[in-house]
A and B are shown apart, each in its own frame.
Chain A
Amino acid sequence: MVNDFYRKFKALLLSPLFVFALVTLTLVFFWFRGGSSLGGGEIGSPYYNIGKMFDISAYAWSGILLGMASGLTAAAAPLYWFFTQMQNIGTPGFLIQATFFFICLMLGFLSMYALTRELFPNRKRIVYFSAAIFYLVNPYALVNVWNRFLQNPMLFYVFLPLGLWLYICGLKKRKYSFAVLNMGLTAVFSFAFAGPSQTLMFWGLLFLISIYYFVFFEKDRFVARYFFLNILLWFIFNFFWFSQQLYFRLSPSFKEVSTVFFTESGNLGTFNALSRVLGQISNLLIFQHGTFFRESVDYPYAWPLIYRNPVFLLMQWTVAISVLVISIRKRKEPWVAFLLSLFFLGIFAAKGNSAPLGEIFDFLFKKVSFLEFFRNPFEKTALLLPLSFSPLFGIFVQESLLWLKRKWKSLYLLGAIGIFGYLILFLGFPYWTGLVFTSYNPPANDPKIGYQVEVPDYYKKADDYLSKKEGIFRFITFPLGGEGIFYKWPKGYAGVEQSTILFSTPSISYNTTIPFYHRIAGKLERLFMIYKDFYKLANLLNARYILFRPDFDYKLSGMRNPDTISDILSKKTLEAKSDLKLAAEFAPLKIYEIGQYPTSQKIYPAANIVLTGKERDYEDVFMTSFNNGDILLKRTDFGILEKSGLSERVSASIIHNLAFYEIDPANFPKYTEAPDIFPYVRRLPGDKIFPLVLLKEKIGSLSKTNPQVRTKEEITLLGKRLMEVKKLVDSGKTSLAKESLLRYMNKLPAVMESIDKLAEFKLSTGQVWRQDDMFNTFSSHLHILRQLETGQLNENGFVTEAIKKFKRTVNDYKILPYWDFIETEASRQGGKRVVFQFEIGTDGKYRLVFPKTLSFPQVFEINKKMEVQVDDRLYLVDPLIRDNYLELGEFQLTSGVHEISFGVPPSQNLVNIADLSLDTQNNNLVEIPIDNFDPFLRYEIGFDYFIHYGDGLNIVYTLSTDTPDPKTGKMRYFYSRKLDQDEYSNLEQSFSFVTGPNYFANAAVLKLWVGPWNNCLKLFQEKFSSKCKKLDIYHTFDRPTRITVRDLQAYAKFPAEARLVRENNLEVVTNLPVVEFERINSTKYHTKIIGAQKPFLLVFSELYDAGWKAYLVSKDEKVNEWPLFQSWRRNQILDKNHLLVNGYANAWWVNKTGNFDVVLEYAPQRLLYVGYAVSGASIAVGVGYLLYKLVKRRFS
């Protein structure tokens, strides 16, 4: 009896369920003992409000930000639904997250245990236990699964062995019911498959197993039938999310995302860089991440570096090699051979295109488009390593212990302890110390906090306040930065911005890679700071409030100092006729109401229309008299307006400059002597060898595969052609020179096209690749051509004609301006000129305007008439400084391309010291602030300097946002440079540099300093140089330095963006229909149109997506969520009348009058309903089938 009890007790203690449950519960209890959920990084803090996550994933469209297709998150719906039910019964967020971790760990342990037992059924239990533990604690899992903390890779990692186990069970037992069970579980854990790389990996593995099983175990058609049945079931069971993903991948929005944010060359660049850094075989063989274990000095106690300690490295290599030795010896066992092959396949995949034979992966990556999902090969494919290695590790444990038992029995116990120590103490210590959930970012680098997050109460209060407000609206958060933020909360947080989770009201709180949205969010803060009538913009965005939040580290977050925003807000609220008022305060948060908010701007009829060339540039709103209800529309959509009779509603047309040049007319066309512009010419045309030279050049050019390198080569060869012309002219061979010039002119368009093909490298201003280089190169070409024009080659205007053609061609590609500058008295006084190029669509009178910034135009001395050249005509204009812009005249322009240029007006000198003297004894450092610093302008800073004696001059240009390097503690300055003494001359030198706009800074300081001259290292070279390491010796060689600086100047550069505005002076529209609407859910709105007298544009302020459709429904029909397919086969407003307005929103031309109803619906939601039905019904049938099988087996 006692024995029996003991046996049962022992069996229980050793049962995997009990052991793993105990371990998992202990770990989970330890991790969540503080009662805080864990978060940060890319995942954020979803458990703060998991219901919100479910809302986002359960519908095909989510209302967050400006609205967003849920395509990629639909797979998370089942998991989030389950957790939402837990939340609804009052379970706190941290307990829900603890449940998630419990599920993950248990699933991981048990599934690897089961898989190993299935593959090697006749082995000891220690094999399965060791395999399971190793699978969860190995270094790959440590970094890429647990420390990285993303939920779907986590779930995929633990689900994978379960999927393989059930698949192999089915194969072995020849039962289709396993396919039903396995694929049913994939639907339950669908979140695991949210990333395409995971789906591809899963099916790749099942395919490999099937092939292997077919070849080495059972050559039977069953294997193929079983494999395809699995695919079919997976597709049906997972249809609900897979169809959404497919729709999203094929949608125009995804195309935009992938082309704007992920270029082919960008993908390739990432792939190359990651292959190089993470594809080292010496790391992969011991599962180590290339940088994590080498460079993580900022982690608490620098714990990852322990794994690089030589002793521990020896330990890891010993284990890796021992496992491989035993695997080689056991390779006659087919599953060992399979796992071993899979392991090396994993190495080849995870190393990307690193040697050896990386060219194969490289070739495939370039040719097979879906492989772009594997652009981080280590992250995506290295999980094959622990997956294949873990069962082999189990075998190693058993075999090595057996070997010890046979050879040195006394060491058996020591061996067992060693293996236990390796797994639990060495690999496992980050888990049971909690260090696995720490990071290098503060505050996660504090071991007491780690990933723990506690959201302060004031967010809940602010959310409640906004939720109670009537109507559908958004709010804008300032300061507004990128995706990452470092909140300064008591249990802090460093990761993605959290407003979408913290608030149930949608907001624009951070900038992210969403089409249309990113351009708007990126400029919003700037426009808020500059323009008084910001409310106009807020109306377009349906934003009613501004949330001010200062609870974050602005320097680390790369954002603006909240004090700057606070000052602006205070100032704006105090202004007379202010549009802002403080509505509520939940310290430290403040909520401001935007005063001039009309009651409903989510859906409204458009009043007047402003046509613009860049519909996402919201600055246009401030360039015209833009009223409530007016909209911005792309100029290219003008055709639809004409057709619909709405063209009379166009109140203004705004044209942005296509190109911008800043030129010193005294030195244009500038000649630059450089071998890459004009290489040395040895053989001239006419030489017998010359055809061979051309052939050699062609072969050389063809052999260059990198398009940038090839284009550079082509440009250099073009310069060579021109040099040949010059040399021929110089040697009097005019006819050959003519031929050569023709050769040059024929080659020019092809080179221009090559340059243009590098479009992905184009600047945001739409200008050419490497603008400055191209300008210099072709300016030099023009210089030579002009020289030729004055010579004998220009008989009958041959060269003049060529120059015209040359200028037209390079001008088409925005490299050089077309028109020559007209010389006047004013222009002869010197100074730079700016040239703006515009393309006009319609003839008319256009005003030339320049949007203001914080100090533009005040910083320029614009107080007298200015000469403005339009093409080849000269005008004298009166500059007008308006509220929102500088106006430089009005011009009658015809359709076509025009160039407008003028001399840059003088700018104030923004530094208050012109001359200074620096020396090491008295005055070794001078700090000069830039007056009225404007973060939205570029500056040119320059001076003359003379080194009397000693060391060089150090220059630092530092911004208020500059931060110290976290590793070295040294400041990382925006710009720093040392001007050393010229080796040859001892004359006064000039120096200048240009700084770009520095969006988030609010102050800039120029620092000039000198240090002592020291020749210690010159005197003590090589092996004696160590003497100089001793500071007391080193400083005995110090000698004083003295430098004088003269004529120090800091000037603002003239803005590169201009606009031409044509206004039609329309009256405010009064006869618009009344629009009332009701939000059914995030994918459906019911709109009532009352009193439409004319056809009109119906604007819907949700992110533009081709999936949004508008349907006319009968007037008194009840519209709600049910029936799901109400709009099916209804009268749809044609897609060609669906427009993008206001830079992000949807609008439809409604060609109907009177009173009627319109339903706005996101069409993919229907697909989701179908998906839920298909997946739900098929899973129900699958469960029924499994139950039937179970009952049948029980009774038979």
Chain B
Amino acid sequence: MKIKFWIGVAFAIFFSAFLFGLPEALFYWLEAFFLIFLLVAYKFKSDYFLYPALALLVLGAVLNIIGISFAEQVLRASLVFWLVGLGISLRELKK
């Protein structure tokens, strides 16, 4: 429950950041720090990052196919999820 909540928060930040016009570079850094904070604070499974990453990727792909330039921002955001997700996944593998 807690996990879903935090992931929900992450997504909320992701979309609201664009709505409130946060500078893009700053947004990615915040996103990265937030995800890493989650990673450190809670022992998450990599699933909780990789699947949202995939979901964002699918969303980005759809937007890209229909020719909406916002696709690029969504895909960039997904990349941060991939980064953290793969990091945890390697940690899991080591265990």
Which residues of A are at the interface with B, using a C-beta cutoff of 8 A?
215-216, 280-282, 285, 310, 313-314, 317, 320-321, 324-325, 328, 331-332, 334, 337, 340-341, 344, 347-348, 354-359
Q: B58 near A281 (CB under 8 angstroms)?
A: no
With CB as the reference atom, state the residue of chain A lying closest to B64. A282
Q: B50 near A328 (CB under 8 angstroms)?
A: yes
- Chain A nearest CB, measured from B75 CB (Å): 4
- Chain A nearest CB, measured from B57 CB (Å): 6
Q: Which residue from A280, A313, A331, A348 sits with its C-beta under 8 Å from B65? A: A313
With CB as the reference atom, state the residue of chain B lying closest to A347. B79
- Chain B nearest CB, measured from A1001 CB (Å): 41
- Chain A nearest CB, measured from B16 CB (Å): 17
Cα(A331)–Cα(B94), bound, Å: 12
Cα(A320)–Cα(B24), bound, Å: 26
Known: A282-B71, A285-B75, A356-B77. 5 other contacts (CB 8 A): A216-B94, A328-B50, A356-B76, A357-B32, A359-B25
Q: Which residues of A contact B72 (CB under 8 A)?
A: 280-282
Q: Which residue from B28, B83, B86 sits with its C-beta under 8 Å from A355? A: B28
Q: B80 near A337 (CB under 8 angstroms)?
A: no
Tell whether A331 pairs with B31 under 8 Å between CB atoms, given A281-B76, A325-B54.
no
Main secondary structure of the interface of A (DSSP, over half): helix
Q: A337 near B75 (CB under 8 angstroms)?
A: no
In the complex, whether B38 has a CB less than 8 A from a CB of chain A is no
Q: Which residue from A216, A314, A347, A355 sits with its C-beta under 8 Å from B24? A: A355
Chain B residues numbered 49-66 whose CB sits less than 8 Å from any CB in chain A? 50-51, 54, 57-58, 60-61, 64-66
Q: B93 near A334 (CB under 8 angstroms)?
A: yes
With CB as the reference atom, state the residue of chain B lying closest to A328. B50
13 pairs, A vs B, C-beta closer than 8 Å: A216-B94, A282-B60, A282-B72, A285-B57, A285-B61, A321-B58, A344-B82, A348-B79, A355-B76, A356-B25, A356-B77, A357-B28, A357-B32
In the complex, whether B67 has a CB less than 8 A from a CB of chain A is yes
Q: Which residues of A contact B79 (CB under 8 A)?
A: 281, 344, 347-348, 356
Cα(A337)–Cα(B88), bound, Å: 11
Q: Which residue from B29, B61, B83 sits with its C-beta under 8 Å from A317? A: B61
Name, among A281, A285, A324, A334, the residue most crowded by chain B CB atoms within 10 Å (CB to CB).
A281
Q: A310 near B61 (CB under 8 angstroms)?
A: no
Tell whether A321 pairs with B86 under 8 Å between CB atoms, given A281-B75, A313-B65.
no
- How many A-B contacts at CB < 8 Å in the complex? 80
With CB as the reference atom, state the residue of chain A lying closest to B93. A337
Q: Which residue from A331, A357, A359 sits with its C-beta under 8 Å from B93? A: A331
Q: A357 near B29 (CB under 8 angstroms)?
A: yes
Chain B residues numbered 33-58 whose CB sits less than 8 Å from any CB in chain A? 46, 50-51, 54, 57-58
Q: Which residues of A contact B29 (CB under 8 A)?
A: 356-357, 359
Main secondary structure of the interface of B (DSSP, over half): helix
Cα(A285)–Cα(B78), bound, Å: 12
Q: Which residues of A contact B90 (CB under 8 A)?
A: 337, 341
Q: B46 near A331 (CB under 8 angstroms)?
A: yes
Q: Which residues of A contact B67 (CB under 8 A)?
A: 310
- Chain A nearest CB, measured from B79 CB (Å): 6
With CB as the reference atom, state the residue of chain A lying closest to B82. A344
- Chain B nearest CB, measured from A267 CB (Å): 22
Tell whether A356 pairs with B57 under 8 Å between CB atoms, given A282-B64, A317-B64.
no
The 4 lowest CB-CB distance pairs between A and B, nearest first, are: A356-B28, A317-B61, A281-B75, A282-B64
Q: Which residues of B contact A320 (CB under 8 A)?
A: 61
With CB as the reference atom, state the residue of chain A lying closest to B46. A331
Cα(A1045)–Cα(B48), bound, Å: 74
Q: Which residue from B25, B54, B75, B77 sits with its C-beta under 8 Å from A324? A: B54
Cα(A313)–Cα(B63), bound, Å: 11
Q: B57 near A324 (CB under 8 angstroms)?
A: yes
Q: A317 near B31 (CB under 8 angstroms)?
A: no
Q: Which residues of A contact B71 (CB under 8 A)?
A: 282
Name, among B32, B46, B86, B94, the residue most crowded by chain A CB atoms within 10 Å (CB to CB).
B86
Q: Which residue from A285, A310, A356, A359 sits with its C-beta under 8 Å from B31? A: A356
Cα(A331)–Cα(B88), bound, Å: 11
Cα(A313)–Cα(B64), bound, Å: 9
Q: A331 near B89 (CB under 8 angstroms)?
A: yes
- Chain B nearest CB, measured from A352 CB (Å): 13
- Chain A nearest CB, measured from B83 CB (Å): 7
Q: A341 near B65 (CB under 8 angstroms)?
A: no
Cα(A953)–Cα(B18), bound, Å: 46
Cα(A328)–Cα(B47), bound, Å: 9
- Chain A nearest CB, measured from B44 CB (Å): 15
Cα(A331)–Cα(B32), bound, Å: 22
- Chain A nearest CB, measured from B49 CB (Å): 10
Cα(A707)–Cα(B89), bound, Å: 43
Cα(A356)–Cα(B93), bound, Å: 26
- Chain A nearest CB, measured from B10 CB (Å): 14
Q: A215 near B86 (CB under 8 angstroms)?
A: no
With CB as the reference atom, state the residue of chain B lying closest to A317. B61
Cα(A1028)–Cα(B58), bound, Å: 42
Q: Which residue from B51, B65, B80, B94 sits with its C-beta under 8 Å from A356? A: B80
Q: Which residues of B contact A348 (CB under 8 A)?
A: 79, 83
Cα(A325)–Cα(B94), bound, Å: 21
Cα(A354)–Cα(B75), bound, Å: 12
Q: Which residues of B contact A341 (CB under 8 A)?
A: 86, 90
Q: B54 near A340 (CB under 8 angstroms)?
A: no
Chain B, residues 4-31, CB within 8 Å of chain A (1/0): the string is 0000000000000000000011001101
Q: Which residue from A321, A357, A359 sits with its C-beta under 8 Å from B57? A: A321
Q: Which residues of B contact A347 (CB under 8 A)?
A: 79
Q: Which residue from A317, A344, A357 sits with its C-beta under 8 Å from B86? A: A344
Q: A344 near B76 (CB under 8 angstroms)?
A: no
- Chain B nearest CB, measured from A284 CB (Å): 9
Q: B65 near A357 (CB under 8 angstroms)?
A: no
Cα(A357)–Cα(B77), bound, Å: 10
Q: Which residues of B contact A216 (CB under 8 A)?
A: 93-94
Cα(A348)–Cα(B84), bound, Å: 13
Tell whether A310 pairs with B76 under 8 Å between CB atoms, given A321-B57, A331-B46, A356-B32.
no
- Chain B nearest CB, measured from A356 CB (Å): 3
Q: Which residues of A contact B31 (CB under 8 A)?
A: 356
Q: A314 near B76 (CB under 8 angstroms)?
A: no
Cα(A334)–Cα(B86), bound, Å: 12
Q: Which residues of B contact A314 (CB under 8 A)?
A: 65
Q: A317 near B94 (CB under 8 angstroms)?
A: no
Cα(A348)–Cα(B89), bound, Å: 18
Q: Which residues of A contact B86 (CB under 8 A)?
A: 337, 340-341, 344
Tell whether A310 pairs with B93 under 8 Å between CB atoms, given A281-B75, A344-B79.
no
Q: B61 near A321 (CB under 8 angstroms)?
A: yes
Cα(A314)–Cα(B79), bound, Å: 20
Cα(A358)–Cα(B79), bound, Å: 12
Cα(A712)–Cα(B94), bound, Å: 54
Cα(A344)–Cα(B84), bound, Å: 11
Q: Which residues of A contact B94 (CB under 8 A)?
A: 215-216
Cα(A351)–Cα(B95), bound, Å: 32
Q: Which residues of A contact B61 (CB under 8 A)?
A: 285, 317, 320-321
Cα(A120)–Cα(B29), bound, Å: 37
With CB as the reference atom, state the residue of chain A lying closest to B61. A317
Cα(A310)–Cα(B63), bound, Å: 11
Q: Which residues of B contact A324 (CB under 8 A)?
A: 54, 57
With CB as the reference atom, state the residue of chain B lying closest to A318. B61
Cα(A325)–Cα(B77), bound, Å: 18
Cα(A355)–Cα(B58), bound, Å: 19
Q: A332 near B93 (CB under 8 angstroms)?
A: yes
Cα(A337)–Cα(B31), bound, Å: 23
